[in-house]
Amino acid sequence: MRPYQLLVFDWDGTLMDSEHRIVTCMQAAARDIGQAVPQHRAVREIIGLGMNEAVERLFPEFGKEQRERFISVYRTHWLGNGVPASSLFPGAREVVEWALANDYLLAVATGKSRLGLDKVLEETGLDDCFHVTRCADEAFSKPHPQMLQDILVDLDTPPDQALVIGDSEYDMQMAANARVDAVGVLHGVHDSERLLASGASHILEDLPELPLWLSAQNHRKMNLDRG
């Protein structure tokens, strides 16, 4: 049996190149409510967290009411047409299709809301590709392991047969907290040093390297089984 039966993808920064849209909408929301506009680098740092946790890190001085107002304004911008839509990373669709064709179970664990994830799944035509998806408004935000643990239960998969693929240390830490292996991809928000330090077992330059790496792991496992 191959080492991994379930592939759990992060969304933003892993499958979708959404940094520009997220940063632009965050900055616009701050501007709209009369708040100092955060720098691109500061917003980039919180991509991958749930919205409440992201806003708490960006604006620790906010009370609950101000935080909820900011989130509402941000979502108005994100759901509107004022900022160009994000696109999948080159090769992301092909990787998902390859994984399905090779009988992997597929899941998404994301800091997005359910509304946000459903929107981009429909827009990209990937809404029927994942067996389970879990969002930050349905569980604790990464790096807490609840999203991943829920997916494991739903798909009846032991932790040692699952693999997380993500671009941030929050993804790697979530996987480590659930005792699941993880690989990092470098076209997202965090560099290889941070990904390795937070638990990545391997680093991919980009997502299209994943099928070749998985095939190598399968061959290695077969050779070990043969003894």
- The reported pLDDT for the residue numbered 193 is 95
Give the pLDDT band (50/70/90) at residue 218: confident
Q: 24: Cβ–Cβ under 8 A, 6 or more apart, which residues?
A: 77, 83
Instruction: Compute the distance between CA of residue 68 and CA of residue 64 in angstroms, rounded to an integer.
Output: 6
Q: If you count DSSP H runs as helices and E runs as strands, how many of each does the chain have, helices first? A: 10, 8
Residue 206 in this model has a pLDDT that exceeds 70:
yes
Q: Which amino acid is at 89?
A: F
Average pLDDT of the chain is 93
- The reported pLDDT for the residue numbered 227 is 58
Percent of the chain predicted with pLDDT > 70: 98
Instruction: Compute the distance between CA of residue 189 and CA of residue 168 in angstroms, rounded to an integer.
Output: 6
- The reported pLDDT for the residue numbered 189 is 86
**Structure tokens that stand for 45 in this block:** 């740092």
Residue range 128-143: mean pLDDT, rounded: 95
Q: Which domains does the chain have, with CATH numbers?
A: 6-17+87-226 (3.40.50.1000), 19-79 (1.10.150)
